[in-house]
Structure 1
Amino acid sequence: MSKAVSFLMVCTMVVPNVASAQSQEPEYEVAQAVKALTQAMIEADGPALHRLTADALSYGHSSGNVESKAEFVKTLVSGESVFEDIQLTDQTVEVVGNTAIVRHVLSARTNDRGKEPGTVKLSILLVWVKDRGQWQLLARQAVKIP
């Protein structure tokens, strides 16, 4: 086999993989932002919650309550709402320009102030926007799963 043929064979194997990795980059970045937000919620990390959410955040709960960014962060940091564990499954990420739609199932153990420890299982829709090079949560809506 000639060197030119060998080189072409290697190129045809490498180039599609590089292109595939580049096309998945925004989805990967969004998935990492979702992971960071989940961890910040468990840790009640105010600075991280502020960094990962847009100023115009609309955070909808399965109860119908909708919180602003300030309310969302305060509820977690104050201990009013406590997530002891959060597991995300069946996640999909679709990026269109600087906007991303994420869907997943959230299963969590909670220990909210004034309530008994509990569990929740929710279907979640998240809308993320990329602002100044960083993905931020703009909107969230949850629906209870029977």
Structure 2
Amino acid sequence: MKKLLTLIFISGLFFGEIQGQNTEEKMVSQAFDKLIVGMIKADAMDLSSVVSEDLSYGHSSGVIQDKAAFLQEVVSENPISYQTIERESETVQVSGNTAIMRNLLIIRGLSPTGDPINLRLATLMVWKKEKKQWKLYARQGFRLPA
């Protein structure tokens, strides 16, 4: 069954809900909402609350970061200060304490010199349920044509 993505625009942020999701799938999508908010706010505490200590974060450039490097990069807003992260599509599959999420994302931001950055990415994310909370465990993104 194909799932529909509904986007809600609130104060420059997009929050998504996929129709037909079960409770655990919705919780994973909500954890991703928190990740997006943390990235846009460049807030280490918000981000830290939704990423695993064992995070493996793969960028479309091929760079792989652990949790500390990922947090430092987002908080420093270098190479990008995130302005908006929009979901073009999303699927979530939960199996026990693991979830696989696939997204098509439109990311808009600014470089440290103020130049606009516009990216269209596909991502594969693995989420793990740790102490009753979904946390990002692994992510790999790749660029798509704009």
Deviations 1:16-61 (A, max 9, x none): xxxxx8x811001001101111111111111011110001101000
Structure 1 gaps, min length 5: 1-20
The secondary structure found in structure 2 opposite 1:113 is coil
In 1: Cα distance, 2:103 partner to 2:97 partner: 20
In 2: Cα distance, 1:79 partner to 1:104 partner: 22
1:1-146 superposed matches below 5 A? 24-80=22-78, 81-114=80-113, 116-146=115-145
Query: Relative to total residues, which structure has the larger helix share, 1 or 2?
Result: 1
The secondary structure found in structure 1 opposite 2:38 is helix
Structure 2 gaps, min length 5: 1-19
In 1: Cα distance, 2:81 partner to 2:111 partner: 5
Alpha carbon RMSD of aligned pairs, Å?
1.5
Give the TM-score normalised by the residue count of structure 1: 0.81
Identity %: 38
- Whose radius of gyration is greater, 1 or 2? 1
Letter in 2 for 1:58: S
In 2: Cα distance, 1:43 partner to 1:119 partner: 18
Instruction: Report the count of equivalent residues.
Output: 125
Give the TM-score normalised by the residue count of structure 2: 0.81
